[in-house]
Amino acid sequence: MTDLERSIDFYETLGFAAGERYEQEGWLLWVRLRRDSAELMLALASDPVHDHGQSVLLYLYVDDLDAIGADAPVVEVDTPRPAREMYLQDPDGHAIVVAEPA
């Protein structure tokens, strides 16, 4: 992540809450976020982040996709699992798929 505070703000819109943080010499180096039993750890990038050069896909399952409250369309999926998905992009351009099981 290039800006952890900006990333924290983004993930908080998805219902995550920031918890444990590690700072060194005034720099936030990593933060742990939690939502119910889901936990994420975000770290400050040590190299430049290029949105077209990253190969990261974060795939989250939730019980109620509509409860996420994100401003993204929900897509009905014609596969056995999952039943519905929402496609998002974090502030650094990483792909996030939030899915609701069938």
Summarize pLDDT for 70-99 with one digit per residue, the tens: 777 777 776 666 778 888 888 887 778 888
Q: Label residue 12 by pLDDT band (50, 70, 90).
A: very high
User: Given this structure, which CATH class describes domain 4-100?
Assistant: alpha beta
User: What CA–CA distance (Å, rounded) separates 94 from 59?
Assistant: 11
| Secondary structure (H, E, C), 24-69 | ECCEEEEEEEEECCEEEEEECCCCCCCCCCCCCEEEEECCCHHHHC
Average pLDDT, whole number, for the chain?
81
Q: Give per-residue pLDDT as tens, 25-68.
A: 998 989 999 988 888 888 887 666 665 665 666 778 888 888 87
Which residue ranges make up each domain of the chain? 4-100
